[in-house]
Structure 1
Amino acid sequence: MAALLATLTMMTPAPAHAQNARKAISREAPAFPSDALDDGVDSGSVKARLSVAADGSVTNVDILEANPKGYFEKAVKRALVRWKYEPGAAETIDALVTFKDR
């Protein structure tokens, strides 16, 4: 059985004056969707925007872009809504999730 990989990249840079960027306490990688494999799709990417509450919980995940469309978006939303950050001011964070069947 082939190994499946999901890579997570935070895309929103911290402001120049920030000493410490808000840190993720818990980040679950999304599962590689079986329907993608069934259809011969072995890689893809999803750009998402997370709404992070003051307590560090992710309250919303908006999909900004997906390639190819229709395969990875649900898996990304399910995983990213479970992410947890250190408490701090509410903010939005962009993330790029890439999938690869290796």
Structure 2
Amino acid sequence: MLYISKNIDALRYSVIREMSQVAAQYDDVISLGIGEPDFNTPAPIIEKAFEDARKGHTHYTHAQGDPQLIEKLSVNLSKDLGKTVSPECIMITHGAMNGLANVFGV
């Protein structure tokens, strides 16, 4: 027999997800709920993703994010802000909610 944890059984959709589902029922509403774009990924981005995959970039990155991306962000942010932003101060996340959870220790 299969048992489901009471913790899992008690989970419900977040308010953001519920709002997105309600908004999807209307044609004249632009949903900003979960950051899902209202257009398909442009072909050049898809092609670049496939090119990277063919080169073997199919594994998990470092937990802080891709080191090359972090280094470039560090350089650009330091230049734009006029003060040093070290790579150790940058973390790449897969979404805003994950970033906020990391910041607030949720």
TM-score, normalised with respect to structure 1: 0.21
Higher helix share: 2
Which one has the largest radius of gyration? 2
* Relative contact order, higher structure (CA 8 A, sep 6+): 1
Instruction: Considering fraction of residues, name the structure with more strand.
Output: 1
> TM-score, normalised on structure 2?
0.20
